[in-house]
Structure 1
Amino acid sequence: MTDTASLDEASQPLRMRNFYLARQPILDRNQALFGYELLFRGSANGSAPVDSGVAASAGVLHHASQLGLPRAIGDATAFLNIDRDGLMSDIFAFLPRERMVLELVRSVEPDDAVIERMRVLSGHGFRFAVEASNHGPELSRLLPVIDFVKMDLRALPIVTLLSLAPRLRTTGKRLVAEKVENHTEYRTCLDVGFDYFQGYYFAKPTVMSGRKLSPSQTTVLALMDLINADADNSAIEALVKREVSLGMNLLRLVNTPALGAGRRIESISQALSLLGRRQLQRWLQILLFAEADVRGHSQSPLLMLATTRARLMELLAQRLRPAQKNVADVAFTVGMMSLMDTLFCMPMRDIVEQIPVIDEVRDGLLKRTGFFGELLRLAESIERMDDAQDEVLPVLQALSIEGDDLAELEVSAFEWSDKVVRYAM
């Protein structure tokens, strides 16, 4: 491939320091996490978002590698947009090719040079994806050298999708439904035969009348009430021990590398002593989402999203208000609670009535106002970067955050979430 010196030389003219990133989940047919599409955007001096071509430039990728690209994706597969210049350059030495899919942007014309370059990179272990509506008649020429075909539900009429998907399945390519926004669209694409699904449909709250919480969820909420009431440790330990699965999950979480315990914790009493009330409250919030994953997969997308959002908000609060010790803990709680309407299938207003919270938390969750509301708006806007990219910059400016600082905090949040979720079940 190429050496480090040539990589540095290639990246110099395109270096771009101030950017932030997002990772949009791609789920398999069981709604378990398969990968992420990584998106990069610039934020310097109020500039417009970086387009997908520049986003795949050597400069941005080199900076992303310095932050730790593998840390941003964990064990998942990464889909990364690439333009012709990027494709033909030597920027691939630092990428984890076994977990990397290069997605050609609209501007790439599949001429002989492009096809040959794709064959060479395929020989080095890279895989390729294209979006069907971007390439039209040229798609047939790309089929021999690609592995994934994406179909944007917002760009293709449903009748086209229903006729094109079965034909593409006969080619042996993996099909990815993109911008899936609700469960009805997910079910339609599932029936048509799509292999993967990209979008936040799994995070949309669906109100279900008569829904009851599971016994474990009820116990977790009761424990949270005991902590809020400053109950004795003996009462908390007794309640944990009554729910065997809860105790096992708590021990798994306590022993995760994300906590950094110096020795193996093997008893509920040890776990509670190690955690303390503040950390116990946090792990209980995580266990609510872990227990809800009825498929038993260790990378529940809702749990991954909730822990990433909460951790990012916590890190932002620490950076912005370092002198206020409890602000970061409250920010984490707001991040976790912001997805409880989906978790419990009930309106957020009902949740904040049942779980006592301070006014600042309530306003952040219901109105997206105040300091915690600003942090939550920023986290949500980054997650929906394709549809909400214009919302990110004003919040960054209001919070006085540079893109570089945000990118570093995001990667830290991604890595922490990956460690937590891996040991959560």
Structure 2
Amino acid sequence: MVEEKFFLGRQPILDRTQQIVGFELLFRSPESLHAANILDVQAASASVIVNALTQFGIQDVLGRHKGFFNVTREVLMSDAVELLPKNRVVIELLESIVADQEVLERCRSLKALGFSLALDDHVYSPGFHDIYGLVDIVKVDVLETPAQDVPGMVDKLRKWPLTLLAEKVEHAEHYKFCSELGFDLFQGYYFARPVVLRQKKIDIGKITMMQLMKQVMADADWAEIEETFKQNPGLTYNLLRLVNSVAMGLRVRIKTLRHALTVLGMEQLKRWITLALYAVNDSNGVHSPLLEMAATRGKLMELLVLAARGRAGSELADQGFMVGILSLIDVLFEDSMAELIGKLNLVENVKSALLHRDGDLGALLELAEMLEQADFPAVSDQLEQCDLTLDQLLSAQLETFSWADKLIASL
């Protein structure tokens, strides 16, 4: 069998406790990027979905989470959809599907087989009443649906025992609005958007964290760093959980900061200290979605540098990892990136990548951001700019997803 090539995107779906519970998986073939009919290309063919999961292994793509897949009418009706692992997937019926008798019967048979079903980008319609009794999840695009129409739609859909998912939740205000209306699941990057420069009480924990970042980036004396850690026991706890995680692959259990330094060395320890900062400032601790996103960006950038440059690029790969994990500190500290970067002793190419998306590292950070948005035409152009192939990207993505999942699952 010839392996099909395609772009792969994942977008996180969170519950009310801000835990990631699944990913919508998006596939596009390179040939479809310039197709005229956007609905034809939004959903990959059933063969692409099945091949992707066979080729990659569902564990590598999804880890411990469920995968949400868009399907066209043709895919819904095909036998291939039944090859998907029913306990790991949610089949999303695209908004182009008409709720006729044939679709109703197909939904009944898939439900009888044990599959979970969802309606994608849905607007309430009496024509779907029979289908509402079968689907598990209804996704509402809160960006496209006029705000005044959403409460009425929610009230109507509440007559059925289904879960409501708010899609394209891009800001904290969006999230608050949807949460108050009774949505249970949320898809979008609202948790990763900076909420900048509101006057707030001074957070002593954040001051300690910022001080620690400064010290780490400036290669301060280890005794100084230890002293700062002692002021924040939660940070020490999170750091030790991170360095002892399965993803680190260490044979010895690290019990103290000093031990971590001797086993890992300062360069490696910098990564884990920076990641641990994301856990301290989030009620979910080490299970913060922001931590997972920062770790994923960092690892992907590191692997792409190594793919492009081999072992000769190891120093740049380390810097790539740091750019990825530092790229969300404005969200973490609720301050502007320029202000925060000004306080840290960063090398010039790391600084310009974070502030202006300049240089090789800036281009890779843009690539990571485009992938998060599943903007595949832009990803295709950016790959050329970064002198990378689609194969190198897919390989790095899979290794990253697997690494990040093991990291978070073992915490």
1:20-58 alpha-carbon deviations (Å, 9 max, x no partner):
211111111232222211111223597558945651421
What letter is aligned with 2:185?
Y
Residue 66 (structure 2) aligns with: 77
The alpha carbon displacement at 1:124 in A equals 2.7
In structure 2, the residue matched to 1:126 is: 115
Moved more, 86-95 or 310-319: 86-95
Counterpart residue type for residue 314 of structure 1:
E
Shift of residue 93, structure 1, vs aligned partner: 6.1
- Is 1:379 paired with 2:368? yes
Query: 2:7 is matched with which residue?
Result: 20
Q: Give 1:401 deviation, angstroms.
A: 2.3
| Residue of structure 1 aligned with 2:309, choices 290, 297, 321 | 321
Contact 1:26-1:197 within 8 A present in 2 as well: yes
State the secondary structure of the residue aligned to 1:151. Answer: strand
Task: Indicate how the Cα distance of structure 1 residues 144 and 282 shifts in structure 2: closer, same or farther if over 3 A, else same.
Answer: same
1:80–1:52 Cα change, 3 Å: farther
User: Separation in 2 of the partners of 1:230 and 1:310?
Assistant: 20
* 1:36-185 map, 5 Å: 36-43=23-30, 47-48=34-35, 51-52=40-41, 54-92=43-81, 95-131=84-120, 133=122, 136-185=125-174
1:363 maps onto 2:352 in alignment: yes
Report Cα offsets for 1:76-104 as digits up to 9, x if no partner: 22211112232233335663322311001
Q: Which residue of 2 aligns with 1:312?
A: 300
56-65 or 342-351, which moves further after superposition? 56-65
2 CA distance for matches of 1:128 and 1:57?
16
- 1:247-269 Cα offsets, whole Å, 9 max, x none, are 22222112111000113223333
> Gaps spanning 5+ residues in structure 2: where?
none
1:324 Cα offset (Å): 2.2
| Mapped pair 1:291 → 2:280 | yes
SS at match of 1:313: helix
* Match among 295, 302, 316 for residue 290 of structure 2: 302
Q: Distance in 1 between matches of 2:9 and 2:240?
A: 31
Q: SS at the partner of 1:25?
A: strand
Question: SS in structure 1 opposite 2:74?
Answer: helix
Distance 1:206 1:278 in 2: 30
TM-score, normalising length: structure 2: 0.91
In structure 1, the residue corresponding to 2:249 is in which secondary structure?
Answer: coil
Give the drift of 1:225: 3.6
* Matched residue SS, 2:95: coil
Matching residue within 388, 396, 403 for 1:409 = 396
- Identity fraction in percent: 38
Q: CA shift at 1:418, angstroms?
A: 1.9
Counterpart Cα distance in 1 of 2:200 and 2:302: 31
The 10-residue stretch of structure 1 (44-53 or 315-324) with the greater mean CA deviation from structure 2: 44-53
Deviation at 1:150, TM superposition (A): 0.8
* Distance (Å, rounded) in 2 between the aligned partners of 1:368 and 1:61: 36
Alignment of 1:164-243 (within 5 A): 164-211=153-200, 214-243=203-232
Give me the whole-angstrom Cα distance separating, in 1, the residues matched to 2:40 and 2:279: 36
CA 1:139/1:324 → structure 2, altered by over 3 Å: closer, same or farther?
Answer: same
Q: CA RMSD in A?
A: 2.5
Q: How does 1:312-351 map to 2 (within 5 A)?
A: 312-322=300-310, 323-351=312-340
Q: C-alpha separation between the residues in 2 aligned to 1:111 and 1:22? A: 31
Q: Take 2:276 and 2:42, find their aligned partners in 1: how far apart are those partners?
A: 40
Distance in structure 2 (CA, Å) of the matches to 1:316 and 1:159:
44
8 A contact 2:197–2:335 mirrored in 1: yes
In structure 1, how many angstroms separate the alpha carbons of the residues matched to 2:199 and 2:148? 36
- Could you tell me whether the CA contact under 8 Å between 1:132 and 1:139 is conserved in 2? no
Match of 1:270 among 259, 268, 271: 259
Q: Is the 8 A contact 1:43 1:403 kept in 2?
A: no
The CA deviation string for residues 295-347 of structure 1, in whole angstroms up to 9 with x for no partner, is: 44x53221111111111111111111221221011111111111111111111
Conserved 8 A contact 1:306-1:336: yes
In 1, Cα distance between equivalents of 2:168 and 2:218: 44
Cα pair distance change 1:161/1:229, threshold 3 Å: closer
Q: 1:22 aligns to what SS in structure 2?
A: strand
From 383, 394, 400, the counterpart of 1:396 = 383
Whichever residue aligns with residue 166 of structure 1, its letter is D
Aligned partner of residue 141 in structure 1, secondary structure: helix
> One-letter code of the match for 1:157?
P
- Structure 1: 5+ residue runs without aligned partners? 1-11
